[in-house]
Homo-oligomer: A and B are copies of this chain.
Amino acid sequence: MNAALAHSQTAPDTRPREVPEAMLDALRARFGDRLSTALAVREQHGRDESVFVVAPPAAVVFAESTQAVADAVVIASRFAVPVIAFGAGSSVEGHLLAVQGGISIDLGRMNRVLAINADDLTVTVQPGVTRKQLNDEIKSTGLFFPIDPGADATLGGMSATRASGTNAVRYGTMRENVLALQVVTASGEVIRTGTRARKSAAGYDLTRLFVGSEGTLGVITEVTLRIYPLPEAVSAATCSFPSIEAAVRTTIQTIQLGVPIARVELIDANTVRMVNAHSQLGLREEPMLLMEFHGSPASVQEQAHTVQEIAAEHGGKAFAWATTPEERTRLWTARHNAYFAAIQSRPGCRVIATDTCVPISRMADCLLDSLAEVEASGIPYFLLGHVGDGNFHFGYLIDPDDPRERAVSEALNHQLVTRALAVGGTCTGEHGVGLHKMGFLMDEAGAGAVEMMRTLKRALDPKNIMNPGKIFTV
Contacts and interface: CB of A to CB of B under 8 A. Distances in A.
Contacts of A163: 201
Given A428-B200, A429-B197, A459 B455 contact: yes
A122 interface: yes
Interface stretch (A36-44, A253-261, A401-409): A253-261
Interface in A202-235: 202-206, 208-209, 211-213, 228-229, 231-232
A433 B202 contact: yes
Interface string A425-468: 11111111100010011001110111011011011100000000
Given A189-B448, A298-B299, A453-B206, A430 B199 contact: yes
A90 to B, nearest CB: 14
Interface string A146-177: 00000000000000011110001000110110
B201 A122 contact: no
Copies in the complex: 2
Contacts of A374: none
A256 B122 CA distance: 11
A426 B205 contact: no
A287 B457 CA distance: 50
Contact of A172 (B176, B206, B355): B176
A-B pairs with lowest CB-CB distance, top 5: A229-B258, A459-B459, A119-B361, A120-B359, A208-B208
27 contacts: A117-B359, A120-B361, A175-B199, A185-B452, A192-B445, A195-B425, A196-B359, A196-B424, A196-B425, A197-B359, A197-B390, A197-B420, A198-B390, A199-B430, A200-B426, A200-B428, A201-B428, A201-B431, A201-B432, A202-B427, A203-B441, A203-B471, A205-B208, A209-B456, A229-B256, A296-B299, A456-B460
